[in-house]
Amino acid sequence: MKISLSFLLLFISSIGIQNKISDPVPGSCTIFSASIGDQTLFGNNEDYFDPDTYLWTEPATGGNYGCIYLGFKDYSHQGGINEKGLCFDANALPDVKINLHKELLQPPHYDVPYDQYEIWLPVLILRKAATIQEAIDIAQKYQKNNWYPSSEGVGYQLNFADAQGDAVVMSVDQSGELAFTRKNKDAHFLISTNYNKANPNNALEYPCHRYTVSEEMLNTITKENDITIRFFKNILDRVHQEGIFSRTLYSNIFDLQRGIIYLYYQHEYEEVVILHVKDELAKGNINIKISDLFSEETVHQASYKWYSLIATWILGCAALTVISIVIIHYINKKYYKFH
């Protein structure tokens, strides 16, 4: 009986290990902004499985604002900030149908060699807008092809904030129309995770633990001096992910009024890379791996944690397999004993 109980406890523990390190919400980014007086910050955890992350610049040209983007290889934008202090990032959602509104203007296209593609909406907004209201006007102006809907619909929402302290989440509502969830005038902050702000039934996770934790911490803000880089870093740390199939690849804090980027690598919050938007744009076109911005020590520490997690997962799988075989053998032995 003691042996059987021991195997049962090991079996349950193995399942617990697997569940703990296997994130059920791939792409589970946490995004929030807060503003009082002269302090306006925007925070984001980029959660995904692909560690090949990049930072690149797009200097101002021909009526476009200069922009800095964060994302993946081949210019796969995930977030960014422009020289006016307008920024964005995106949360993954289940696909939802969007009404394309063919009666509206066609969205502009990228330059050669990508001229067959419409400019993705947040990229167009960062190039052309300085405020949330201007961003909303652009989103409403064009056909919705620039949301890049698949045959199943749109699988994300966009969170924007500007240097004036305004913020909005753009998503698709139940009727397929664009919805704009703006920060209340009497509120200090706006948060988005992996449920649709305009339609919570369209969710990868609802209610969301990361949203709840972020909200609890942001609710403690009462004055301008409460909104600090350290405070935002602590929130990002509290809600970062360490799953096998989705983990926090980088975290960023934008100081929107001062045009400063604070960047962290794979939830290693002891080292920060500080970039000034105007200085980086003045260097011309840059495309660099985010890991190359950090010390070898930080990159190695992040890799060590990642491989340790994989090793733990593999050992958990092996233990689960062995225990399952032993239990099956034990049951079969008992069965044949009584038959």
Q: Where are the domains of the chain?
A: 2-17+311-338, 26-306
The CATH number of 26-306 is 3.60.60.10
pLDDT higher than threshold 60 for residue 7: no
Closest CA to 54 of 302, 244, 292: 292
Q: Is 129 helix (H, G, I), strand (E, B) or coil?
A: coil
Q: State the pLDDT confidence band at 5, using cuts at 50, 70 and 90.
A: very low
Strand order in the sheet with 247-255: 189-192, 30-36, 39-48, 247-255, 260-265, 268-276
Mean pLDDT of the chain: 89
Residue 13's pLDDT is what? 46
Q: Which residue has the tokens 């052309």?
A: 128
pLDDT higher than threshold 90 for residue 95: yes
Q: What are 164-183's pLDDT values in tens digits?
A: 999 999 999 999 999 999 99
Own/partner contacts of 164-169, CB < 8 Å, gap of 24 or more, are: 164/40, 164/131, 164/132, 165/35, 165/36, 165/40, 166/35, 166/131, 166/132, 166/133, 167/33, 167/35, 167/132, 168/132, 168/135, 168/136, 169/197, 169/198
